[in-house]
Amino acid sequence: MTAMSSTPPLPGRALVQGAAQAEALVSGEPLSFWGGYDQLTGEIIDRRHPLSGENAAGKILVLPASRGSSTTAAVLLEAIRQNKAPAVIITMGTDRFLTLAAIVAEEMYDRTVGIVSIDADGFASLAGAREIRVDSTGIVTRVA
């Protein structure tokens, strides 16, 4: 069993409900899923992004926001269909494109990817996290 961190739980807003405890991939840089995320493998393929080469499938991805346009939603939707999406995506503020993809995936594929919004202070406290737990209400806990 993993020891609990002394960091208090962070109140998040569940834009799309989803719960997971998983390895965390945390970056202070936005990510364009169009050309930056391989929907067939889950690999972050933007070679200029700090998480380049990491595989986000089944993990908790922490980003300030997505970058780009509605194509982000299309790429994430396909990643969800292929079972290569993150389990939960935590953003700073509301990311409409990621939220849209997760809502459509629930309707079309009956698959859930949690989308949680946290404030800037909460986001900053996740820097360097290795494992995170998110409950279905949006409460975020840094485990390690």
Query: How distant is the alpha carbon of residue 16 from its chain centre?
Result: 11
69 is catalytic: yes
Which of 5, 32, 52, 69 is the catalytic position? 69
Query: How distant is the alpha carbon of residue 47 from its chain centre?
Result: 19
Tokens of 95: 């990311």
117 CB contacts (<8 Å, ≥6 apart)? 12, 13, 15, 90, 91, 92, 93, 94, 95, 138
Distance, CA of 103 to CA of 12 (rounded, Å): 18
Which residues have a catalytic role annotated? 69
